[in-house]
């Protein structure tokens, strides 16, 4: 799915690192003049930024739908993954040099049609689909990279329900599922 030029991929990683470094020094995300950026980064885009320390999750924040320029989304999500993920304390200057930064560019989410949980499970594409689950005020998502830890559709969906705040065996005909794909930049 790689549609991003090598130059833009490199620039996106530089922007992510600059926002984290700015956060360490100033307590806020970096900003950039959009006119200095390639068109692809000025257009609306949605991304997730994942931080890993010693190959363990250290922060992950993102946008599911494009609502601002991709560069702005990237700068803000990089900062938020480092300092505002409620699952972790803020990233420290000592941790930063050993922290890997991964960017996932999201395609627009597409609603899925299914007749039952088993029908949904058959349609999911392990390693390819990111999934958004919504049910009466509960919501959760897993990026496609989560398939590495949860390799079967049933396990993936059970853990996604738990992440959304529902029991792992929960099912209702009103469950809404959307899927998306990502382009990984690391």
What pLDDT band is residue 112 in, cutting at 50, 70 and 90? very high
Q: CATH topology for 6-106? A: Glycoprotein, Type 4 Pilin (3.30.700)
| Mean pLDDT computed over 116-120 | 97
CATH number for the region 110-181 comes to 3.30.1490.150
**Whole-prediction pTM value?**
0.91
- What is the rounded average pLDDT for all residues in the chain? 96
The domain limits of the chain are 6-106, 110-181
Give rounded-to-5 percent helix, strand, coil for the chain: 35, 25, 40
Query: pLDDT per residue over 77-101, tens digit each?
Result: 999 999 999 999 999 999 999 999 9
What is the Cα–Cα distance from 166 to 172, expressed in whole angstroms?
11
- Count of Cβ atoms closer than 10 Å to residue 154 Cβ: 13
DSSP state of 117: H
How confident is the model at residue 35, as a pLDDT?
86
Question: Does 119 score more than 70 pLDDT?
Answer: yes
């Amino acid at each position: 799915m790689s549609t991003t030029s090598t130059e833009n991929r490199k620039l996106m990683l530089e922007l992510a690192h600059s926002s984290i470094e700015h956060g360490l020094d100033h307590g806020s995300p970096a900003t950039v003049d959009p006119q200095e950026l390639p068109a692809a980064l000025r257009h609306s885009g949605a991304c997730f930024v994942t931080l890993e320390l010693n190959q363990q999750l250290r922060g992950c924040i993102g946008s599911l739908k494009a609502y601002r320029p991709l560069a702005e989304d990237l700068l803000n999500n990089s900062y938020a993954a480092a300092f505002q993920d409620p699952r972790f304390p803020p990233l420290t200057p000592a941790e930063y040099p050993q922290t890997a930064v991964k960017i996932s560019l999201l395609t627009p989410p597409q609603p899925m049609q299914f007749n039952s949980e088993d029908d949904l499970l058959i349609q999911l594409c392990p390693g390819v689909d990111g999934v958004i689950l919504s049910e009466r005020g509960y919501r959760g998502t897993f990026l496609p990279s989560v398939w590495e830890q949860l390799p079967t559709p049933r396990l993936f969906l059970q853990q996604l329900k738990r992440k959304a705040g529902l029991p792992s065996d929960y099912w209702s005909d009103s469950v809404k599922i959307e899927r998306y794909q990502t382009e990984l930049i690391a």
